[in-house]
Structure formats: C-alpha cells, structure tokens
A = this chain, B = another copy of it.
C-alpha cells in the first residue's frame, strides 16, 4: 500500500513555506511520484529537488517546464509561484525537533570542532562553503542486511582573505 512510500507536506508547517511548496507537494502526492523519479526527470539530485519543494532551492526555467509537465500543474501557476529568489532557512525550527533532523544537528554539535580542526590542518584557515556546495544521499546495505544512510557534503574551500 502506497501511503508510506511518498513524502508529503505536513499541513501544519505549510504556513512557513512559500505557496509553491503546497502546490508542488499536492501534485506530487496526487501523482504518486517519489523524489527519485522527479530528480531523474529534472536531471538534478534528489536532495536538491526536495529542497526546491520546501522552498530552499531555486528552480531554473527548464525545471519549471519539466515540473509542469511531470506534475500536471499549469506552467503559469508554477512560474508565478517559483518567481523570485528563495527565502531560505525557514522550513523548520532550530534546534530541530524532528528526530531524523535532530541527529544531523547532533553530529554538528558533537563533531563540529573536530571537523574544524581537521579541515584547518588539511586546507588552512577558511571554511567549507554551503553555497558553492552540493550534497547527496545514498542507501547502502551491508553483508548482514542492515541498511545504512550515507550523506555526502561537498563544498568549495574558501580561505579567509588577508586584508
């Protein structure tokens, strides 16, 4: 039965997301499409597509055209709702209350200084960009049949300017 295979938008968080989120998630649910299927159609990563649905990433004109066709939403509707620049960062509270998202936060809390120390030694005084940045999610299954989630973060290294 389909109900636990498709991520949908919890109505109680729709208020803090752009209008496009409801449009996109409703169409996705009605078409029964996974992010994997949509990502393939758009030629983008699944995480990027999910971020676009949550209003955290921009859509190109080609994305809009393809989404319109795939989801059966009039292109004009999508274009007007995806018009403009994403206003990021408001999808959920911080610290996160959702257990899955909290685990990621906890990784930053516990390993933040360790990442900094190792990155500084490897790359100098700077930061890993979260803008010149991509990320992906993979599923692995080990020999014992256990599933593992693998998240990769890849960001450009930006050294602090000397001035």
Contact = CB atoms under 8 A, between A and B. Distances in A.
Interface of A: 1-13, 15-19, 29, 34-36, 44-48, 50-51, 53-61, 64, 79-80, 82-92, 94-137, 139-140, 146-163
A84 B48 contact: no
Contacts of A108: 94, 96, 101, 104-105, 108
A85 B120 contact: yes
B139 A123 contact: yes
14 contacts: A6-B121, A10-B87, A12-B18, A47-B163, A51-B111, A56-B111, A58-B162, A88-B98, A89-B99, A101-B115, A104-B128, A132-B158, A133-B160, A148-B156
Nearest to A36: B121
Given A7-B117, A51-B114, 20 more contacts: A3-B82, A6-B83, A7-B84, A7-B85, A12-B15, A12-B16, A47-B111, A50-B114, A56-B111, A58-B125, A89-B109, A90-B98, A94-B109, A96-B112, A98-B113, A101-B115, A119-B149, A122-B137, A122-B139, A123-B149
Nearest to A114: B50
Contact of A105 (B91, B105, B117): B105
A122 B122 CA distance: 33
A99 B151 contact: no
B113 A92 contact: yes
B139 A149 contact: no
Nearest to A10: B87
